[in-house]
Amino acid sequence: MALKTIILIGGPMKGTRFRPLSLDLPKPLFPVAGFPVIYHHIEAASKVPNMKEIILIGFYQAQEDLTKFIINVQHEFKIQVRYLQEYTSLGTAGGIYHFRDQILMGNPEYFFVMNSDVCGDFPLVEMLEFHKHRPAGTFCTILGTEATRQQSLNYGCLAENKDTSEVLHYVEKPETFISTTINCGIYLCSPCIFEPLKRIFKQNLEENYNFDFNTPNKEVIRMEQDIFVPLASTGKLYVFHTTRFWSQIKSAGAVIYANRHYLELYRDTHPDRLAKNGEGKPKVIGDVFIHSSAQVHPTAVLGPNVSIGKNVMIGDGVRVRDSIILEGAMLQDHCCILNSIIGWNSTVGMWSRVEGTPNDPNPNKPFAKLETLSMFDDHGKLNPSITVIGSNVQVPPEVIILNSMVLPHKELSGCCKNQIIM
């Protein structure tokens, strides 16, 4: 039995909640817990027996960072990884149909489809076992999890037959309550999924054939609205439930949240990646990742939930908590970093404090997910969130940066609170 995995990495978007982090690096390559976001997807997929190939589909230009990443993961996981570039954004299923010959090469029995903007403890092996035992002719199994009643409206919602797990009804971001079971953006498909994809593609072609140049081209095929909605209650669409960690990665706050959970998973999967306390080493509290090339002063205190990137320099008495420090950054003596992301090659001066506000899920509500707040509130003020310092930023000594976003290549002159520094 041969298997494949398709990872949908999207492409450069205009209005992104991920700025300024995505200005320097494609979002799927942003490091979380020391490794790019999609590294965690590839690692999970490579552990599934008989996985023959992993295909990345998106419309980023094939640039140096992406090429280097692919070479590295191929070497590490001993599995073929390829990038197929769309000529334009084709939607969550359009790229899969466009590259159908590449996907079906080698006759895979099933293939996973993973959206790159989610993170989690992906139960792919268990999902495969579940899918194998569905009736013959099943098109797809969706990975589902529970959300609160209110939060479910922000996701794809599905109603199911509790006895058979068949999806009876599917709505993407419904206006009224449907179900607390939400779509995790991870699917396991049988090759027969190309039948409805072909049907939608032909339908779109016919609608395009009208010579009206004012009508936008309908090349986009959306897996959720165009495929799952009509497939519900046909006996060909099922849901597999997970209670493991899962979250979307739509904002800087979600990156810090994902970082915490991936570090926690390392306790079981990669204890060697977590920093240990010892003589001549910095004090570590909880789960901390420190790249081997980073230089950290023994009097620094790191953690919990901290990732330190390549060639970072951390001075005497520095305190870091719930933060990601990116490659080449310098934290000078006695500065304090809380709930923040410090960009590539940026410097935080002595005795300065950089602090953000976490927006963790409500611990008193079972199944609560991370809220992705809009950048501004109803009064036009910046919502408190993680502080993000872009690349090559100079934060002077003895200042406080609170709940702010600083774009790249800025030299700050003093304190700032609830501001976007452009």
Q: In this predicted model, what pLDDT tens digit does every residue of 111-146 receive, in sequence order? A: 999 999 999 999 999 999 999 999 988 999 999 999
What DSSP character marks residue 396?
Answer: P
Which residues make up the CATH 3.90.550.10 domain(s) of the chain?
3-248
Note the Cα 41 to chain centre separation in Å: 9
- Structural Rg of the chain based on CA atoms: 23
Residue 278: which residues within 8 A CB-CB, separation 6 or more? none
Q: What is the pLDDT of residue 73?
A: 96
Residue 133: which residues within 8 A CB-CB, separation 6 or more? none
Q: What is the pLDDT of residue 366?
A: 55
- Of 116, 140, 129, nearest to 59 (Cα)? 116
Q: Are 196 and 203 in contact (CB under 8 A)?
A: no
- Of 33, 111, 98, nearest to 286 (Cα)? 33
Tell me the sheet residues that pair with 402. Answer: 355, 417
> What is the enclosing helix (H) or strand (E) of 269?
helix 252-269
Q: What is the pLDDT of residue 380?
A: 66
**Overall size of the chain counted in residues:** 422
Q: What is the pLDDT of residue 12?
A: 74
Its pTM stands at 0.92
Place of tokens 């939400």: 182
Q: What is the pLDDT of residue 207?
A: 72
Number of H helices, E strands in the chain: 8, 32
Q: What is the pLDDT of residue 362?
A: 56
CB atoms inside a 10 Å sphere around CB 6? 23
Q: What is the pLDDT of residue 15?
A: 44
Which residues make up the CATH 2.160.10.10 domain(s) of the chain?
275-421
The first and second tokens of residue 395, run together, are: 């934060």
- Of 327, 257, 317, 340, nearest to 290 (Cα)? 327
Cα angle 104-111-143, degrees, rounded to a multiple of 5: 155
Q: What is the pLDDT of residue 11?
A: 81
CATH class of the region 3-248: alpha beta
The first and second tokens of residue 284, run together, are: 């570590």
Q: Which residues, given as ranges, of the chain have pLDDT below 50?
A: 15
Task: Say which CATH topology domain 275-421 has.
Answer: UDP N-Acetylglucosamine Acyltransferase; domain 1 (2.160.10)
Three-state DSSP at 201 gives: helix
Using a 10 angstrom Cβ sphere, with 0-12 exposed, 13-18 middle and 19 or more buried, the burial of residue 243 is exposed
